[in-house]
Copies of this chain bind each other. A is one copy, B any other.
Amino acid sequence: MTMSNRASSSSARANALPRYREIYASLREKIVSGEWPAGHRLPSEHELARTFGCARMTISKALGTLADQRLVTRRRRAGTTVNMPRPQESVLEIHDIEAEIVAAGVSYAYESLARQIRRANGSDANTLGVASATPVLALTGLHLAGGRPHALEERLINLQAVPEARSERFHGISPGRWLLQRIPWTEAEHQIGALNADAAVARWLAIRPHTACLTIERNTWRDAQRITHVRLIYPCDQHRLVARFRYRPL
């Protein structure tokens, strides 16, 4: 009996959307058009299943998609309600600098400026979030695009988490890429800010002192363990971050 239910809806049109996507689109339209305003309660899954003539699980998937997109909130017994003033949440894609530069059709190079292995001092411990005296690798380097300074990088690596880094010289390869290839990370946090370049930064980046720069700080974890902390400094005229809110499944 259950056979060919799908066939009957899909064989008609070859490239049809899955049923749950059709249902999702249909419900979403009612929400974004304003027909169902914020706070409106949607019919229950059982009722929608009857309405659309499908199994409840299909409805559940459609409603789950809406919930993933924060268009609705679902609670047991309370039902599914429209979530109007939606959180301003964007997906920020922070690419590997090398990939970014190469994608722009420009040659890339990494130049190491300083390298030191030390036991974490108070500042290191605080920045990297490890105990004092933990062995760390401190790196400073320059990302070059087309031979010109693109970004200044200051990095700390937790040698307890990444002992292989102790013997790596990072000639030709940037520490970021090196880590990415070896160390799976599970969580990352970015902080974005602005600063006026001081004399040293300005010299390395070949910009005038006091020029506004965009800074990106990234902390990386593998589960509970801190892997690395990096601060990247970009001259304001050379870099912008783009974040786009996207629906999850589309």
Contacts and interface: CB of A to CB of B under 8 A. Distances in A.
B213 A210 contact: no
B196 A214 contact: no
A140 to B, nearest CB: 21
A250 B10 CA distance: 34
Contacts of A189: 90, 242-245
Contacts of A212: 194-196, 212-213, 236
A230 to B, nearest CB: 11
Contacts of A123: none
A218 to B, nearest CB: 8
A95 B91 contact: no
Is the interface on chain A under 10, 10 to 19, 20 to 34, or 35 or more residues? 35 or more
Number of copies of this chain that the complex holds: 2
A47 interface: no
B242 A188 contact: no
A87 interface: yes
Interface stretch (A13-21, A152-160, A179-187): A179-187
A85 B190 contact: no
Contacts of A245: 187-189
Given A181-B85, A185-B86, A213-B212, A191 B94 contact: no
A225 to B, nearest CB: 11
A187 B244 CA distance: 8
Nearest to A89: B93
Given A189-B245, A222-B32, A88 B96 contact: yes
Contacts of A138: none
A236 to B, nearest CB: 4
Nearest to A219: B244
Given A68-B248, A196-B210, A210-B196, A31 B184 contact: yes
Contacts of A87: 93, 95
Given A88-B188, A193-B240, A214-B214, 10 more contacts: A91-B91, A187-B244, A187-B245, A189-B244, A190-B244, A191-B240, A191-B242, A192-B192, A196-B211, A196-B212
10 contacts: A88-B93, A90-B91, A188-B244, A190-B243, A193-B236, A194-B194, A195-B212, A196-B210, A196-B211, A212-B236
